Structure 1
Amino acid sequence: MELSKRFDQIYVSEPSPSHPPRERVAPVTPTPEQQAQALLAELTVQEKVAFLHQHQPVVERLGLEKFLTGCEGLHGVAWIGKATVFPQAVGLGATWDRELVRRVGEAVSTEVRAFSQDTANAYQDSGQNEKPPQVTLNVWAPVVNLLRDPRWGRNEEGYSEDPYATAQIATAFCRGLRGDHPTVWRTTPVLKHFLAYNIETDRDIVDVRVPDRVLHEYEFPAFRGPIEAGVVAGVMPGYNLTNGVPNHVHPLINEALRSWDPEVAVCSDAQAPSNLVEREKYFPDHVESHAAALKAGVDSYTDNSADSAPTIERFTAALERGLITEADLDQAVRRLLLLRARTGEFAKDADPYAGIRAEVIDSAPHRALAREAADASVVLLKNEDAALPLPTGQDAPGRIAVIGHLGTRVLTDWYSGTLPYSVSIADGLAAAYAEAGTEVVTADGADLVVLRVADEQGAEAAAFGPYRHQDWGTSVQCPLPVHTLQAEDNGRYLGLTGEDDLVADAVSATPDGWFVKELWEFESAPGTAADAASGETFTLRANSPHSRKYVRVEPGTGRLLADIEDAAAATRFQLEVVQDGEQEAERLAASADRVVLVLGNDPHINGRETVDRDGLALPARQERLLRVVQRAHPAAVLVVVSSYPYAIDFAQENLPAILWSSHAGQEIGSALAGVLTGAQSPSGRLPQTWYAGSAVLPDPTDYDVVGSRWTYRYSRRDHLYPFGHGLSYATFEYSDPTAQVRAEGAGAFTVTLDLDVTNTGSRFGDEIVQIYARRTGGEDFDAEREALRVLVGFARVPLAAGERREVAFEVAGESLAQWSEAEGRTRVPAGEYVFEAGASSTDLRTSVRVKLS
């Protein structure tokens, strides 16, 4: 029986002999809450237990199809096939544009719908050969963890180091994912990862200590904002412990999250329920741990992949032991049924999104939106003596050299979809200068090398390659530098392949996957890095989470096998440089009219999920390339394409212009070419502080942002670029603001700020007007513990040359709230407040004082 008809029968009465027929009233679709409750009442205890696992089974008698929690859509549909790839989340945060981010969320959710409702066509169009996957409308995005520490491996996944900015952008993205229909959600967003999750090193056992003040003023607001806005269906806990308690059994799930929305579903992170026993050893057995997680408020268990049997066995035993009751099951299953009901699954005739089909994936409007988002995310960090934009038209340069490994490549990350197409920076510049006849030449700066077997007898030694060699430096998890070797003949990377990954061969299109198999260490002795550039002999060792074996040359076949445990038995190699990459870059830079140097990270190497960075410096090889190019062409422009900040002190001191972009998806090259040539005025602003190389950062586990002075709010460290920084080709002036305080009852109030912003330049530009508040005195005022300033408002304001526009801000009083240890709550302390308006957290142009009592 169709579910929609079942519910019609429940809620529409039929005539009986004692009641004559009446004119039939059109059936009313039950609310999602009513649908969930009605279905819950018909499930058996065994079915309820089965529904707790991520893979929920079919219940034919109720018309329930199988269901899966969890589709990845952080900046485009991921892990399914070709789909529109938007800028990384940190890049979306750099737009400071709520409406743009909402439209990106709308596009992502529309493509999720297409994959779910038109799976065969969507999957076929994506060029996949495997069986189409099950696609859920439950989207595990966005990530609202704050970018407190720029060394965090997952920095690319967050929006900002500031909780207000994060909450605003996350709310916009969730609003796009949810859709505007009053009852039916296009997709159901799940926020990640509650609570204080900001470390990859030992992430499933690390205990993060968070003072109450930091919890309430810094951590909670990022989650609370989108949840209270009514656009969040679920939350995922983080792997770590917070204040001694694993997040998956933390009382704050019910005490905090459910106080903001009692219906929010909680989906566990992968394998985290089992980690409570196996890694964290917080409980003696899985039955007790699962029971505790259910009591704490976890509803859905992402555990043991698709095998639901262990989860079912553990909860069945918990019922038998009396550790949980059927009422506990009912709370969780009802929330999960509501998660499904909200998408129209149980009333498909009333689903306004049911007609979405595969043609929306990578459609022309989505391509245009990807370009718009990439445009808005580019940040101009420095522009000395108007070095940018590059000349065009009759003044166009005859030759532009694009140097660096990211100049001709468009990279994705772990949570990206498959690129439907890509425009590199070199491609974008070539297109921009096509009519001018400018020659765009490229060099990646990598050495072309041969791996030659070291032969002490002087005989002709076996050789492998040539390869393009990149040294990616070190990370917390990889204390020795890791290297990639890209075969010159086929462009593929040397990686682990074959049965049990014991063969080393150049078969990988790019370093990718959960277990990156294309990374190698050069060891002069076990645990010691080799200086391969000097001709030192070394062993080649796999750097993969599941293989740390050494390489040997197989006699007879000449194959490279990564199957040696003992370094002494491994083949020893020497690195023969066929072509020096730095010399080639230097030659090209010296011969070009203009040089664009592109440096940055590969999102799968030394800074990603499971891997934290060990510092802020560029890899040594990239730093050397930077200096070589600068000497050859002092007017070179640097473009940093990265998932996180770098301490680029030398570039800031010695190059005239610097741009930053996240890995901004399929249109990154078009966007950067637009800014470089002046077709687009840069308008992105940094969503986090870029610290200088001299800055001494706190330990990554130190989450006390107040005491350790993390982020722009408290930091007095040396920085290169402040939070909110970004330049434009236009110039802007601010009028003095006016302020009014409006009481709203029950102690609530709003501060209304009005000011004028004028484009005083000669061309169009978007200004990101930022409003900061700081307290200068009043009750319990402690200058050492007070925030330097706190972001309380922002707006993207488009202005034509000479245009002036009035901008109004409504600052909720709770934005000024501080935690009171004495009262055990947040409140707005009395005192004098200064509201400052400007272009960054340090470029503050004007202010107004307000006294609050």
Structure 2
Amino acid sequence: MKSTSITSCLARASRLFAALLLSASATFAADETCPTCAGQVAVSGDFTHRKDPPFPRIEGAGANADAYLEDVHGRQFTVTISNLPAGRYTIEIGAAEMTAGAAGERIFTVRAGDQVLAQEFDLFAAAGGARKVAKIRGTIEKSDDALRGPLQLVFTASKGDAKFNTVTITDRAGGEAVAFAANELADAFGAAALVPPTVAEPAIWRDSSKPLRVRADDLIRRMSLAEKVSQLKNAAPGIPRLGLPAYDYWNEAAHGIANNGIATVFPQAIGAAAAWNPALLHQEGTVIGIEGRAKFNDYANRHNGDSKWWTGLTYWAPNINLFRDPRWGRGQETYGEDPFLTAEIGIEFVKGVQGDDPRYMLAMACAKHYAVHSGPERTRHSFNAEIPERDLFDTYLPHFERVVREGKVAGVMSAYNAVNGVPASANSFLLTELLRKRWGFEGYVPSDCDAIRDIYGEKQHHYVKTAEEAAALAVKAGCNLCCGGDYNALVRAVQQGLVTEKDLDGALYHTLWTRFRLGLFDPAEQVPFSGYTLKDNDLPAHSQVALELARQAIVLLKNDGTLPLDRTKLKQIAVIGPNAASKSMLEGNYHGSASRSISILDDIRNLVGSEIKITHAMGSPVTTKPGTAPWSGQDNTTDRPVAELKAEALKLAAEADAIIYVGGITPAQEGESFDRESIELPSEQEDLIRALHATGKPVVMVNCSGSAMALTWQDENLPAIVQAWYPGQEGGRAVAEVLFGETNPSGHLPITFYRSTADLPDFSDYSMKNRTYRYFTGRPLYAFGHGLSYSTFEYANLRVAPAANGALTVTLDLTNSGKRDGDDVVQLYATPPASSQPQELRALCGFRRTHVKAGETRTVTVTVPAVALRRWDIAKKDYAIPSGDWTIAAGASSADLRQKATIKL
């Protein structure tokens, strides 16, 4: 966007020194310049220009509010102001904190030559909070450029990123010498790079009857070098002379359309995985695709085909990294710790998002973060994951391969970390040899945001020394699109001979492939999804899918018969806990805005009506430890003393017949950029639960979290525990239904719940030794796959037989011997023949969710695909199914195996 609210430069200075512009600007390599500043202003260094973020207007911006919709931020960068006459000047730098949630998260220093304008400047503290403006002011004496060079403002971050939104320089008399904002900056390229080629032939790329490759090549050949580079960034500008609309590839939809207004909010991904129902994940994906297409159509139709951040159709989801360690902050975004379950769910989610039209995609999914990425978050920009070969191929890669081969996913995002010494975004083995040559991937590869910068950053991988080398290396390795501005260096990289324009053409083909497959260049009447409007968004049918997924996601961890609660025997229930009344907790991270979101407390009240008196007290905060909420928008604070909260809760508990405790954690304790240090419940809640238990009243615990919790004391002392995850907009109703028996719980854990943080290996160790149920030799609190029901299920007559293409057909009889109809998830685990090589204890190889009426027996058939039986052969450098006696076990969890059979393969 272009702001007209700030006068750019003093024309008098520009006229007096116009003759010096070329020589002055040639002394440094500019990444961005201010086109309206007569060549005076340039920005260079390690920075990103964030354009059109969906931030609200902020306090203190005044008439210049538009200037704060974009910013320049980075670890170290320089703003050069040329041709400023000698004299005394006052510099004022405006910045607004839009992402940090607490003081201490963004600290930086600003120097003007030898003079410090701001030392260790804490933007959040200086502004007085988020979404407020702070100003850095200082006075300098400047010599003529010919004597000491142009004025340079050097921004250096010590924590987080340095940033600015506006810069204003006034002279001694108070007159404006230079003034500009981040939204007035544009990419800086040499003149030769800006010259477009001459192409006389008609624009074939607009002809929908031609093959996609022919069309894409025709569009590419019409672009100048600078235009090609501009299209290799997530925020690709329009090219008016070609009629090419602007498009931003960055969008999120892990469990619903994020950051773009009202949309259906499904359970967070880890909760969705607990349903063990790929078909239901397919439905979720379809809803996401429809709502995303409706929102895109609405925006593009109102903006001449353009799209901006959060409005495009290329969704950077699902996150299919393995949740190998419960401390990882982003584990909530994943489908759990098992590669087979992750693949089965991921494939169907992708198919749902992308649709089944043979020519056009409804929307596009992108599997991330390839290939290994699961913490620690705080070192993710510099971390090198050292992985044994068998672990890489048997654990970290199979689900990515299957989502590519079977799901036909449109995108695969390269990760921040290095893999065995090579940054993932510059790793040709991962991005080209495996992904494209072996797996046949057709789509595009975007980098994670600022991952290209990590390749050369001195405090990051520092794999190469310059931005040009990093950008060239990434493109040649197979990273097609840069999230951020670091591919600006590709113009200089071409000029320096580090990469060829043909290399750029190859990357650009894969990037533009997305827009052709989405039908963005074709007549609306040809694209079957062009008719979706906002009337197709947030439909009751979509909410029903969210509700059903929330119901199936809830895991009954323990029950001694207390659940379901009998409404005929209870007159008063105390609902206690910091998550009981929380709506924000329901959402997880990377979420949209639900039109209907009701807390667990309120949906309990809605369900029981006037039958039972429901009282409520918070009891304690989630935690009193310092916390941040840069992504979640939540915090940990309370304006009442903890002792007072606890006393109130105990009073209500004493008056009640039963207690429902709704606690756990929130996305403020686990999320992007930060991990948990321990998996135990916060001590404030631990103390409160013990005090509630001491009242002698039955305490039912509802744990809300996106990861495993060490609920060891609770398991030993409480009669019932329910795992609710971050259950989405319908989560309150789903939890209430389970507690009172309206829904028979049927969720199963997609992760292991350990007894203690002490059970966990070193977080930074990426070998699989003693990790996840496949290799853990200890005794878990709740095993992978665990989940109880109000019904009881019995297994009998397990049979295993060979099938086509190396698969197995497994059948068994499943009987519901309980008094209620219910769903059970039959799980199959394979143990390979004994080997001298380290191997897993057991591995999930098949499963099926089956509804069985009370007293009914059903025969369940599960196909075990050959891909679930293969193992990496180090000597052959390929997969093979080990020959010998295999054990196939069927059960209700990885630790509750009730039937076994042996088959020789």
TM (norm. structure 2) is 0.74
Letter in 2 for 1:368: Q
Letter in 2 for 1:402: V
- The aligned residue for residue 113 of structure 1 is 293
Q: Distance in 1 between matches of 2:202 and 2:277?
A: 43
User: With CA pairs under 8 Å and 6+ residues apart, which has the higher RCO, 1 or 2?
Assistant: 1
Summarize the Cα distance change of 1:120–1:266 in structure 2 as closer, same or farther, 3 Å threshold: closer
Judge conservation of contact 1:122–1:358 (CA < 8 Å) in 2. Answer: no
- The aligned residue for residue 550 of structure 1 is none
- The alignment status of 1:594 with 2:684, answered yes or no, reads no
- The aligned residue for residue 630 of structure 1 is 693
Q: Distance in 1 between matches of 2:327 and 2:642?
A: 35
- The alignment status of 1:832 with 2:885, answered yes or no, reads yes
- The aligned residue for residue 618 of structure 2 is 444
Deviation by residue 1:301-346 (Cα, 9 ceiling, x = unmatched): 1114xxxxx633x111111111111221111111011111111112
Q: Distance in 2 between matches of 1:380 and 1:445?
A: 23
Q: What is the deviation of 1:271?
A: 1.2
Number of matched pairs: 695
- The aligned residue for residue 151 of structure 2 is none
Q: Distance in 2 between matches of 1:396 and 1:175?
A: 47
Query: Which contiguous aligned blocks of 4+ residues in structure 1 show a shift greater than 4 angstroms?
Result: 6-12, 120-123, 131-134, 515-521, 575-579
Q: Distance in 2 between matches of 1:847 and 1:289?
A: 53
Please give the secondary structure, in 2, of the residue aligned with 1:417: coil
Q: Distance in 1 between matches of 2:432 and 2:205?
A: 33
Summarize the Cα distance change of 1:248–1:391 in structure 2 as closer, same or farther, 3 Å threshold: same
Q: 1:233 aligns with which of 406, 410, 414?
A: 410
Judge conservation of contact 2:267–2:726 (CA < 8 Å) in 1. Answer: yes
Summarize the Cα distance change of 1:471–1:389 in structure 2 as closer, same or farther, 3 Å threshold: closer
- The aligned residue for residue 53 of structure 1 is 233
Judge conservation of contact 1:589–1:633 (CA < 8 Å) in 2. Answer: no
Map 1:15-30 to 2 at 5 A: 29-30=209-210
Summarize the Cα distance change of 1:717–1:31 in structure 2 as closer, same or farther, 3 Å threshold: farther
Judge conservation of contact 2:204–2:210 (CA < 8 Å) in 1. Answer: no
Q: What is the deviation of 1:576?
A: 8.7
- The alignment status of 1:482 with 2:626, answered yes or no, reads yes
Q: 1:349 aligns with which of 516, 519, 525?
A: 525
Q: Distance in 1 between matches of 2:774 and 2:588?
A: 30
CA RMSD of aligned residues (A): 2.5
- The aligned residue for residue 324 of structure 1 is 499
- The aligned residue for residue 373 of structure 2 is 197
- The aligned residue for residue 512 of structure 2 is 337
Summarize the Cα distance change of 1:471–1:122 in structure 2 as closer, same or farther, 3 Å threshold: farther
Judge conservation of contact 1:8–1:29 (CA < 8 Å) in 2. Answer: no
Q: What is the deviation of 1:120?
A: 8.9
- The aligned residue for residue 763 of structure 1 is 820
Please give the secondary structure, in 1, of the residue aligned with 2:530: coil
Judge conservation of contact 1:7–1:30 (CA < 8 Å) in 2. Answer: no
Judge conservation of contact 2:368–2:413 (CA < 8 Å) in 1. Answer: yes
Question: Bigger CA drift: 179-188 or 340-349?
Answer: 340-349
- The aligned residue for residue 87 of structure 2 is none
Q: Distance in 2 between matches of 1:11 and 1:651?
A: 63
- The alignment status of 1:242 with 2:416, answered yes or no, reads no
Judge conservation of contact 1:695–1:717 (CA < 8 Å) in 2. Answer: no
- The alignment status of 1:150 with 2:150, answered yes or no, reads no
- The aligned residue for residue 597 of structure 2 is 422
The gaps in structure 1 that reach 5 residues or longer are: 1-5, 13-26, 124-130, 305-309, 447-469, 474-480, 484-510, 522-574
Q: 2:630 aligns with which of 501, 510, 513?
A: 513
Q: What is the deviation of 1:396?
A: 4.5
Q: Distance in 2 between matches of 1:432 and 1:518?
A: 29
Please give the secondary structure, in 2, of the residue aligned with 1:236: strand
- The aligned residue for residue 623 of structure 2 is 472
Judge conservation of contact 1:814–1:827 (CA < 8 Å) in 2. Answer: no
- The alignment status of 1:581 with 2:645, answered yes or no, reads yes
Q: 1:70 aligns with which of 250, 258, 261?
A: 250
Q: Distance in 1 between matches of 2:878 and 2:854?
A: 48
Judge conservation of contact 1:227–1:260 (CA < 8 Å) in 2. Answer: yes
Judge conservation of contact 1:116–1:136 (CA < 8 Å) in 2. Answer: yes
Please give the secondary structure, in 1, of the residue aligned with 2:366: strand
Q: What is the deviation of 1:121?
A: 11
Judge conservation of contact 1:80–1:133 (CA < 8 Å) in 2. Answer: no
Judge conservation of contact 2:255–2:268 (CA < 8 Å) in 1. Answer: yes
Question: Bigger CA drift: 729-738 or 161-170?
Answer: 729-738
Summarize the Cα distance change of 1:120–1:45 in structure 2 as closer, same or farther, 3 Å threshold: closer
Q: Distance in 2 between matches of 1:194 and 1:374?
A: 28
- The aligned residue for residue 681 of structure 1 is 744
Q: Distance in 2 between matches of 1:116 and 1:178?
A: 14
Percent identity of the aligned residues? Answer: 36
Q: What is the deviation of 1:816?
A: 1.4
Please give the secondary structure, in 2, of the residue aligned with 1:720: coil
Q: What is the deviation of 1:31?
A: 4.6
Q: What is the deviation of 1:517?
A: 9.1
Q: What is the deviation of 1:832?
A: 0.2
- The aligned residue for residue 902 of structure 2 is 849
- The aligned residue for residue 265 of structure 1 is 444
- The alignment status of 1:256 with 2:437, answered yes or no, reads no
Q: What is the deviation of 1:237?
A: 1.2
Q: What is the deviation of 1:281?
A: 1.8
Question: Bigger CA drift: 679-688 or 692-701?
Answer: 692-701
Judge conservation of contact 2:578–2:618 (CA < 8 Å) in 1. Answer: yes
Summarize the Cα distance change of 1:134–1:223 in structure 2 as closer, same or farther, 3 Å threshold: closer
Q: 1:366 aligns with which of 512, 531, 542?
A: 542
Please give the secondary structure, in 2, of the residue aligned with 1:139: coil
Q: What is the deviation of 1:695?
A: 4.4
Letter in 2 for 1:275: D
Q: What is the deviation of 1:233?
A: 0.7
- The alignment status of 1:283 with 2:471, answered yes or no, reads no
Q: Distance in 2 between matches of 1:57 and 1:800?
A: 57
Summarize the Cα distance change of 1:720–1:75 in structure 2 as closer, same or farther, 3 Å threshold: same
Letter in 1 for 2:808: V
Q: Distance in 2 between matches of 1:370 and 1:828?
A: 39
- The alignment status of 1:657 with 2:720, answered yes or no, reads yes
Summarize the Cα distance change of 1:109–1:357 in structure 2 as closer, same or farther, 3 Å threshold: same
Q: Distance in 1 between matches of 2:345 and 2:277?
A: 8
Judge conservation of contact 1:735–1:846 (CA < 8 Å) in 2. Answer: yes
Please give the secondary structure, in 1, of the residue aligned with 2:543: helix
Deviation by residue 1:445-473 (Cα, 9 ceiling, x = unmatched): 13xxxxxxxxxxxxxxxxxxxxxxx3626
- The aligned residue for residue 399 of structure 1 is 572
- The aligned residue for residue 793 of structure 2 is 732
Map 1:685-764 to 2 at 5 A: 685-693=748-756, 695-705=758-768, 708-742=769-803, 744=805, 749-764=806-821
Q: Distance in 1 between matches of 2:201 and 2:520?
A: 12
The gaps in structure 2 that reach 5 residues or longer are: 1-199
Q: Distance in 2 between matches of 1:361 and 1:228?
A: 31
Question: Bigger CA drift: 756-765 or 57-66?
Answer: 57-66
Q: Distance in 1 between matches of 2:603 and 2:201?
A: 55
- The alignment status of 1:621 with 2:684, answered yes or no, reads yes
Q: Distance in 1 between matches of 2:631 and 2:519?
A: 33
Q: What is the deviation of 1:32?
A: 3.8
Q: What is the deviation of 1:160?
A: 1.4
Judge conservation of contact 2:412–2:446 (CA < 8 Å) in 1. Answer: yes
Q: What is the deviation of 1:643?
A: 1.0
- The aligned residue for residue 536 of structure 1 is none
